[in-house]
Amino acid sequence: MEQNTHKKDVETFFIDYLNNKEINLELKNALEYSFISDGKMFRSLLLFHLLEDFNLNYKDFLEFGCAIEMIHTYSLIHDDLPAMDDDDMRRGKATVHKKFSEHIAILTGDGLLTHAFEIVAQSELEANKKIEIIKLMTDCAGFNYGMINGQVLDMENNQNLTLEQLENIHIQKTSRLIELPIQIALILAGKEDYFKEMKTIAYKIGLLYQIQDDYLDKYGKSYELGKPLNSDQKNNKFTYASYLNQTDHLIKISKLMDQILISTIDLPKFHNQIKKIDERTK
């Protein structure tokens, strides 16, 4: 299957990268354990399918998919730590701090984030594009309306949020890392004119993705998700599942999906990749 080929290619790229480094064995095991897993690689698939819509060969840009997945995987390892969501299962197996130790989990995350930047820096892309991508990685993953700030707000989350405040958290903690592959594809394809338009779409895809994640946390099946149910309730988090009943929650997901699908009709591969999100709540 095409999807599996993309995933395998990213995994092989990552393993080759690790094999060319001197790494403490415990840390290397944890890096591989976290990265080579049942993750969906949704973000890098968005990058690769968008590149294909722009008639570029995704295999020429594997390092960018790998870097994006490294940042995402780091965010999940830290998200699961006892100081954050305190979860024991991720991608169908024990979380990194459970399998190894807390210090290894923290440092595995730190390592993934740090080396994502080296992978991009080492690419053969022209220097100005490389700098643009590195700035974008910082912007989307960082503390200035990026993932880190979203995670801070999520941890401060209390039961009295307005829907607007909740949406604002979701956009920062999730949409920005979904914006990243989309904007990288535009830079690689020389289509920066579409930045603004695609940012709006990326925000909506991220919102959809997180609203669905909130749904599945309450109504999903742990064995399908590979992570525990009711993590949000356990942590007293106000999510879309606290705001909407099950039927309205599903309606919200499908309305947002319809809007996104209409606005991406001219990008068939990207469009089909987004459509696959639906399968998780069917």
Binding ligand IPE (rule: CB under 6 A), the pick from 6, 7, 91, 249 is 91
Closest CA to 201 of 64, 55, 50, 75: 50
Task: In whole angstroms, give the CA distance from residue 196 to residue 175.
Answer: 14
User: Are 224 and 209 in contact, with CB atoms under 8 Å apart?
Assistant: no
In the set 213, 256, 267, 270, which binds Mg ion (CB under 5 A)?
213
Tokens of 181: 């592959």
Binding mask 121-160 vs ligand IPE (x if CB under 6 A, - otherwise)?
Answer: --------------------------x---x---------
Q: Which are the contacts of 26, defined by CB distance < 8 A and separation ≥ 6?
A: 100, 104
**Nearest-angstrom CA–CA distance, 224 and 222:** 5
* 151 or 183: CB nearest ligand IPE: 151
| CA–CA dist 191, 49 (Å, integer) | 15
Residue 6 partner contact from Mg ion, ligand IPE, none using kind-dependent CB cut-offs of 5 to 8 Å: none
Q: Which of 13, 14, 42, 61 binds ligand IPE (CB under 6 A)?
A: 42
Site string for ligand IPE, 6-35 (x = CB under 6 A): ------------------------------
176 binds, among Mg ion, ligand IPE, none (CB under 5 to 8 A by kind): none
**63 near Mg ion (CB under 5 A):** no
Q: Which of 85, 136, 182, 183 binds Mg ion (CB under 5 A)?
A: 85
Q: What are phi and psi of 144, to 5 degrees?
A: -95, 80
CB-based contacts of 98, cutoff 8 Å, min separation 6: 88
Q: State yes or no: residue 115 binds ligand IPE (CB under 6 A).
A: no
**In sequence order, what E strands does 9-71 have?**
none
- Of the candidates 107, 83, 87, 75, which has an alpha carbon nearest to the alpha carbon of residue 180? 75
**Which of Mg ion, ligand IPE, none lies near 100, with the C-beta cut-off 5 to 8 A by kind?**
none
Interface residues with Mg ion (CB under 5 A) are 79, 85, 213, 217
- Binding residues for ligand IPE, per CB under 6 A? 39-40, 42, 72, 75-76, 79, 85, 91, 147, 151, 173-174, 209-210, 213, 217, 227, 231
